[in-house]
Amino acid sequence: MGKSEGNLALLQILQDTGVGKSSIVCRFVQDHFDHNISPTIGASFMTKTVPCGNELHKFLIWDTAGQERFHSLAPMYYRGSAAAVIVYDITKQDSFHTLKKWVKELKEHGPENIVMAIAGNKCDLSDIREVPIKDAKEYAESIGAIVVETSAKNAVNIEELFQGISRQIPPLDPHENGNNGAIKLGKQTSQTGRRCC
Ligand code: GDP
In this prediction, residues 66-91 reach a mean pLDDT of 81
Name which residue sits closest to atom 27 of ligand 1, judged by CA. 122
**For 34-58, what is each residue's pLDDT tens digit?**
988 877 766 788 889 888 777 788 8
CA of 172 to the centre of ligand 1 (A): 34
Q: What is the pLDDT of residue 38?
A: 76
CA of 39 to the centre of ligand 1 (A): 10
CA of 64 to the centre of ligand 1 (A): 15
Q: Is the pLDDT reported for residue 194 higher than 50?
A: no
Per the model's pLDDT, the better-predicted residue between 179 and 156 turns out to be 156
CA of 19 to the centre of ligand 1 (A): 6
Q: What is the pLDDT of residue 44?
A: 80
**For 16-36, what is each residue's pLDDT tens digit?**
889 999 999 999 999 999 988
Nearest atom within ligand 1 for CA of residue 156:
23
Name which residue sits closest to atom 13 of ligand 1, judged by CA. 35
Per the model's pLDDT, the better-predicted residue between 31 and 182 turns out to be 31
Nearest atom within ligand 1 for CA of residue 35:
16
Local structure of 116: helix, strand or coil = strand
**For 104-141, what is each residue's pLDDT tens digit?**
989 998 888 899 999 999 999 999 999 999 999 999 99
- Mean pLDDT score of the chain, rounded to an integer? 81
Q: What is the pLDDT of residue 173?
A: 56
Q: Please state, in angstroms and as integers, the Cα–Cα distance from residue 110 to each residue in 2, 130, 134, 142, following that order.
A: 35, 29, 26, 18
Q: Is the pLDDT reported for residue 151 higher than 70?
A: yes
What domains lie within the chain, and their CATH numbers? 7-168 (3.40.50.300)
Q: What is the pLDDT of residue 6?
A: 58
Q: What is the pLDDT of residue 42?
A: 64
Q: What is the pLDDT of residue 75?
A: 79
In this prediction, residues 161-179 reach a mean pLDDT of 72
Q: Which of 37, 63, 94, 129 to mutate to test the pocket of ligand 1 (most atoms within 8 A of CB)?
A: 37
| Beta bridge pairs of residue 63 | 13, 44
Q: What is the pLDDT of residue 70?
A: 67
CA of 127 to the centre of ligand 1 (A): 17
Which residues contact ligand 1 via a Cβ below 6 A? Answer: 15, 17-23, 35, 37, 39-40, 66, 121-122, 124-125, 151-153
Q: What is the pLDDT of residue 169?
A: 83
H or E element at residue 117: strand 115-121
Q: What is the pLDDT of residue 191?
A: 42
H or E element at residue 47: strand 43-52
Residue 182: pLDDT band with limits 50, 70, 90:
low
Per the model's pLDDT, the better-predicted residue between 43 and 145 turns out to be 145
CA of 23 to the centre of ligand 1 (A): 6
Local structure of 185: helix, strand or coil = strand
User: What is d(CA 170, CA 54) in angstroms, rounded to the nearest whole number?
Assistant: 14
Q: Please state, in angstroms and as integers, the Cα–Cα distance from residue 38 to each residue in 34, 74, 137, following that order.
A: 9, 19, 31
